[in-house]
Amino acid sequence: MDAQVNSLDAFWMPFSANRQFKSAPRLLVGAKDMHYTSHDGRQILDGSAGLWCVNAGHCRPRITEAIQRQAAKMDFSPAFQMGHPLAFETASRIASMLPEGLDHVFFSNSGSEAVDSALKMALAYHRARGEGGRTRLIGRERGYHGVGFGGISVGGISNNRKQFGAMLNGVDHLPHTHDLARNAFSRGQPLHGAELADYLERIVALHDPSTIAAVIVEPLAGSTGVLVPPVGYLGRIRDICTKYGILLIFDEVISGFGRLGAPFATDRFGIVPDILTLAKGITNATVPMGATVASAEVYEAFMHGPPGAIEFFHGYTYSSHPLACAASIATLDTYRDEGLFERAAELSPYFEEAAHSLSGLPHVIDVRNLGIVAGIELASRPGAAGARAYEVFVKCYEAGLLVRVTADIIAISPPLIVTRAQIDEIFGKLSEAIRSVA
């Protein structure tokens, strides 16, 4: 079939209801700072930082110009057995922002690739140390780790798994931490649920520690609908991993780069993983980039054998792409010079108040928040899970606000340049939209 030029047919949209969208499209044609411009010329306030990724706001000249300059200077350089200076600079900059010990940065092009790289790194690490029997990977229910086979295997969102067969062998899952009966309307970290981490002891006992390579969790689960870790939970996971020689992987694709009111979740919670994944805010979403950061111990385990040996048989054509590196350096400069992580911390209490002002609204069964992230959970209509929040999403868009919905949960995560007045506008418009749906 010939695809008509300019028809909406040819593009098979990701994670979208294609037929529904194409019958009433929502197209964005421009972006600046806190706003998108829609195809019908309206300004849309960005309540979701694109997809949790435009942390410094849209089309920032410093970042745009850095990309333009690099595109004109050197468009591409092969990353295998070759290098370019910006790759080393970007890696050093990222390592210097992370807690001591998280020192070695492996580049990819997305969060999904960063996760698959982390899982492969964990398996290969144990093998390099003579513990090749450690092949099991432990994820968590409701976890989102992208869409590679590794990511969906350790991930725990059933819709993302059920179309795709058996996936990786030898994966087990921790229980999720969502517990409205005990934690509804928590401000910041919920008080109940640290004991859910002890389930890892049961998994370890079931499979034997000598078979387990790594545990991967999002410190704050974003895509499933903002699940904030209970007080003490991540510390217990860390302790159990350490006790049994299991690597802990933090997937910081969303929580990295200031979103939680600290540079990274590892800073926010004071828990240091062995491997940490990044993407999204790493370039302010201007050029696709992912990164997997390994501890010195993990890296050193690979650095043996003859000096001419390739230590890790893994990489992507576009690992450390020059445009992505230029974008990342300019982005990190912007975060630093504008104090955006500090700004996020400062705004957090105001953001929390604004989010919790939605608490008494019809259908709202929970409001939860941390840093510049909030989740508002609505009661589902009987037999129509997700329909109510989708209507809220459309009404917000019509009113000039972009939000993100998952099932019946609305996630708010604006760029960190958001002002107090814009926070009021976001929650004001959202409140009206929630009131207007049946």
Binding interface with ligand PLP (CB under 6 A): 110-112, 115, 144-146, 218, 222-223, 251, 253-254, 279
Give the Cα separation of 170 and 224 in Å (integer): 23
The least CB distance from residue 109 to ligand PLP, in Å, is 8
| Residue nearest to ligand PLP according to CB distances in the complex | 111
The least CB distance from residue 359 to ligand PLP, in Å, is 26
The least CB distance from residue 151 to ligand PLP, in Å, is 6
Residue with Cβ nearer ligand PLP (358 or 403) = 403
Helix (H, G, I), strand (E, B) or coil at 35: strand
What are the b/e assignments for 149-166, b being 16+ CB within 10 Å?
A: ebbbbbbbbeebeeeeee
In contact, 98 and 266? CB cutoff 8 Å:
yes
The least CB distance from residue 116 to ligand PLP, in Å, is 9
Q: Are strands 136-140 and 212-217 parallel, antiparallel or unpaired?
A: parallel
The least CB distance from residue 154 to ligand PLP, in Å, is 10
Q: Are strands 247-251 and 212-217 parallel, antiparallel or unpaired?
A: parallel
In contact, 326 and 67? CB cutoff 8 Å:
yes
Sign of CA dihedral 116, 120, 125, 126: positive
Residue with Cβ nearer ligand PLP (55 or 112) = 112
Residue with Cβ nearer ligand PLP (249 or 392) = 249
Give the Cα separation of 438 and 435 in Å (integer): 8
Residue with Cβ nearer ligand PLP (38 or 48) = 48
Sign of CA dihedral 219, 223, 228, 232: negative
Residue with Cβ nearer ligand PLP (245 or 386) = 386
The least CB distance from residue 144 to ligand PLP, in Å, is 5
Residue with Cβ nearer ligand PLP (274 or 425) = 274
